[in-house]
Structure 1
Amino acid sequence: MFNSESFKGVNFYEMNWDLKGQLWAHDPVISKEGDRWYVFHTGKGIGVKSSEDGVNWKQEKSIFSSLPEWAKEYVPEKDEESIWAPDIALHNGVYYLYYSVSTFGKNTSAIGLVTNTTLDPNHPDYKWEDKGYVIHSTAEDNYNAIDANLIVDQEGRPWLNFGSFWGGLQLIELDPVTMKPADGAELKTISSRCLEPNTIEAPFIVHRDGYYYQFVSFDFCCRGVDSTYNIVVGRSKDITGPYFDKNGVSMMEGGGTLIDKGDDRWIGPGHCAVFFSGDAESSILVNHAYDAENEGKPTLQIRPLYWDENGWPHLG
C-alpha cells in the first residue's frame, strides 16, 4: 500500500534504474517524500536508505537503536537486533511502518508498528513512535506472523496481509483508528502452495483497474547464490479472494503467474513491493536478489513493471 501523491509527476518508465551506491538490502520497500526517496529493509534496528534521484543510494540511521522491549515477551528467543521485513505506507497523513520480530525457521514471531509524520531525518517533527504489538504467532499456530503488508481497500478499510510458510498467507481487517486488528476480526488464509514445507511468503497487495493483485515469493531465500526465491502474482475482484493466476489456478492451490525467477547474475529475486506513479500510468517492482558477481550478497533491485492488455503485470 502506498500514497500515489508521493510519486506525482514521476514516470517510472522514463527513468534509468541502474542503481548505484550502498545497495545491500533484504526485504526492501520504498517510499518517497518530496524530492527524496527512501528504502526500508531488514537490518539492525530496521535499515534505512535514501536517494535524491531513486538511483544513487546511501545508508541512513536505523529506526531503532535496540530491539523494542515489548517484543521480548512474544519472541523471548530473539537474541540479536535484526528486525525483519518492514512495510511502509502513508495513510491519512501518517507513515505506518510494520515490522517483524522472529528467529529463522520458527513461527514464534510478532509484528509491530511504528509511526512518523515525516521520513526526513532533518525535519523538526521527525520522530518514530513505537506503537508496539500488532499480532503474533506461536509454535502452536499454523501461521507465521512476519512479512506484513498494509493495504487499504477501495471502500477505505485497512487490512494487513502477512505470512510465511506454515499454513500460508493471512489477511486480517484492521481498526482504522489503531491500525491494529479490529475487534472480532478473524484471520483468513488467502494463499497457500499446499506443500510441506509450504514455501510461500512475503505478500504485497495492490489495486489496479478493478482487481486486487497479490504478489508473493515462492521457494527459499537467504542462501546466497543457492537461493531459489522467485516472484509470482495472482488477482481477485475482492480483497479477501479467491486469487487466481493467469491460467485460472487458485492461489489457495499453489497458483501464481511467474514475474521473475532471476538469471545467472541476479539469483533468487523476491520479497517484492509494487508502486505506481501518481497518475498510475507507470509502476515499478522493488525487491532484493542475490548478486552472483558480489559474493551472493542481497542487493536492491528497482525495475519498471509493465501491464499487458489483459491487465497482467510483467517485467517487459
Structure 2
Amino acid sequence: MKKPAKKWLVTVALTCAMALTSVIPASAAFWNLTGDIGVHDPSIIKEGSSYYTFSTGTGLQVLRSDNGTNWYRTPQIFLQPLSWWKTYVPNNTNNDVWAPDIHYFNGRYWLYYSISTFGSRTSLIGLTSTASIGSGQWRDDGLVIRTTQEGNDYNAIDPNLTIDANGEPWLSFGSFGSGLKLVKIDKNTMKPTGSLTTIARRTTNGGAIEAPTITYRNGYYYLFASIDYCCRGVDSTYKIVYGRSTSITGPYLDKNGVSMLNNGGTILDSGNDRWKGPGHQDVYNNNIIVRHAYDATDNGAPKMLINDLLWDSSGWPTY
C-alpha cells in the first residue's frame, strides 16, 4: 500500500545534496542539515561520535555524519539481493529494500528491514546485525516475519524494535489493512515469540496508517505513526500522529482520550508550505526525531528532517 516509483526515489536520494534552512516553526531546534540528505523512511542512530541514517533504497541506503549536520553517503548494506528473499517475495527482483529500523541491544546493532512490492501484502521483514556499524560488516540473520496477499489482512513492512521498561524487546510493524501490530521478541534469536496484538488501526481514508515507532518515557509508552499517503511528492498527505499507554500492548490514547484502535492520534507534524507530507518518523533517545518530507522547492524530492524532540509538562511530545 506504499512507496511507489522506487527508482525515482532512489535517484532522488542519490543525487540530492543541498543545504536546508530552518523554515519549520518550532520551539525546539530544527537541525540545519547540509550535504546529501536524500532519504525515504529514515532511521537514525549514533555510534561513537558519528551519526548514521538508514533508509529505503537499492541495497538499503546509508548516510553518515560526523557532526550531526553534514551528511554523506556510504556503501549500501546489501550489494546484491539475498538469495532467500525471492522465496517469500518473488516479485522483488531489483534489490529494493524498504523502511529499515536500527537499534543497539545486547552488544549488537540490529537492523530490521522490509522486502515487498508496491500495493502488495506479499512481504517480509528481515534482520541483519553487526557489532560495529563503522566496520561495514553485516551478518544475515534471516527471516523475521512474513505475510501474503491471500493469507493476511496486515502487512509485514515498516518494522520498529522497542525495548520495554523491563529490558524486553518487542517489534511493531504494519501498513494499512487491519492496522499496526506488535509482537514479543526473543532476546536470543531477536525473532518473534508469542501472538500478535493490534495496537492501532484506521477505518477512514482507506485505512492509511503505517510506520509505527514506540518509545518508553516516564511510565508511558508512546506510539508514533504515519497516517494518510506518502510517495506522491508535493501531493503527499502524510502526517505524524501519536498516542500513549501505560502498557506496551495498549490501548494507546491520544490527547483527547481517543483510542488509536478507533482512528485516534494527535497530530504532531502535518508539514508546511515547503515540507509536504512529513512521515515515517524515528525517535532516538527520546530527544531526537527524524523523518522524511517532500521539498516543494525541489520538485517534491524526499529529504531528511531532524528536530530536537521536547516533552510538555503533561508528558506529551512536541517540537
The amino acid of 1:201's aligned partner reads E
Distance 1:193 1:14, change over 3 A: closer
What residue in structure 2 maps to residue 144 of structure 1? 155
What residue in structure 1 maps to residue 252 of structure 2? 243
Q: Tell me, yes or no, if structure 1 residue 311 matches structure 2 residue 315.
A: yes
The amino acid of 2:94's aligned partner reads E
Matches within 5 A, 1:153-232: 153-182=164-193, 185-195=194-204, 197-232=206-241
For the 8 Å contact 1:145–1:162, the answer to whether it is kept is yes
SS at match of 1:287: strand
Q: Distance in 1 between matches of 2:192 and 2:156?
A: 13
Q: Distance in 1 between matches of 2:202 and 2:127?
A: 28
Query: In terms of mean alpha carbon deviation, does 252-261 or 150-159 score higher?
Result: 150-159
Q: Distance in 2 between matches of 1:213 and 1:14?
A: 19
What residue in structure 2 maps to residue 4 of structure 1? none
- Unaligned 5+ residue runs, structure 2? 1-26
SS at match of 1:120: helix
Q: Distance in 1 between matches of 2:81 and 2:102?
A: 19
1:152 offset after TM fit, Å? Answer: 1.2
Q: Tell me, yes or no, if structure 1 residue 299 matches structure 2 residue 303.
A: yes
For the 8 Å contact 1:40–1:87, the answer to whether it is kept is yes
What residue in structure 2 maps to residue 9 of structure 1? none
Aligned with 2:145 (options 135, 145, 157): 135
1:127 offset after TM fit, Å? Answer: 1.2
Aligned with 1:53 (options 67, 73, 82): 67
The normalised TM-score by structure 2 is 0.89
The amino acid of 2:274's aligned partner reads R
Q: C-alpha offsets along residues 168-207 of structure 1, whole Å, 9 cap, x if unaligned?
A: 000011111000012xx11111100123621000000000
For the 8 Å contact 1:111–1:135, the answer to whether it is kept is yes
Distance 1:310 1:110, change over 3 A: same
- Unaligned 5+ residue runs, structure 1? 1-12
What residue in structure 1 maps to residue 95 of structure 2? 81
1:79 offset after TM fit, Å? Answer: 2.2
For the 8 Å contact 1:22–1:57, the answer to whether it is kept is yes
Q: Distance in 1 between matches of 2:32 and 2:109?
A: 28
The amino acid of 1:137's aligned partner reads T
The amino acid of 1:84's aligned partner reads W
Q: C-alpha offsets along residues 127-175 of structure 1, whole Å, 9 cap, x if unaligned?
A: 1001110000001201000000001111121110000001100001111
The normalised TM-score by structure 1 is 0.90
Aligned with 1:62 (options 41, 57, 76): 76
1:104 offset after TM fit, Å? Answer: 0.7
- Percent sequence identity is 51
Q: Distance in 2 between matches of 1:247 and 1:267?
A: 26
SS at match of 1:293: helix
> What is the aligned residue count?
292
The amino acid of 1:49's aligned partner reads L
Q: Distance in 2 between matches of 1:303 and 1:15?
A: 6
For the 8 Å contact 1:37–1:54, the answer to whether it is kept is yes
SS at match of 1:54: coil
The amino acid of 2:201's aligned partner reads S
Q: Distance in 1 between matches of 2:230 and 2:80?
A: 25
1:15 offset after TM fit, Å? Answer: 6.3
Q: Tell me, yes or no, if structure 1 residue 18 matches structure 2 residue 25.
A: no
Q: C-alpha offsets along residues 270-313 of structure 1, whole Å, 9 cap, x if unaligned?
A: 0001122xxx6xx1210000000111011000012211110011
The amino acid of 2:296's aligned partner reads A
The amino acid of 1:90's aligned partner reads Y
For the 8 Å contact 2:121–2:147, the answer to whether it is kept is yes
Q: Tell me, yes or no, if structure 1 residue 273 matches structure 2 residue 269.
A: no
For the 8 Å contact 1:194–1:252, the answer to whether it is kept is no
Aligned with 1:284 (options 284, 288, 295): 288
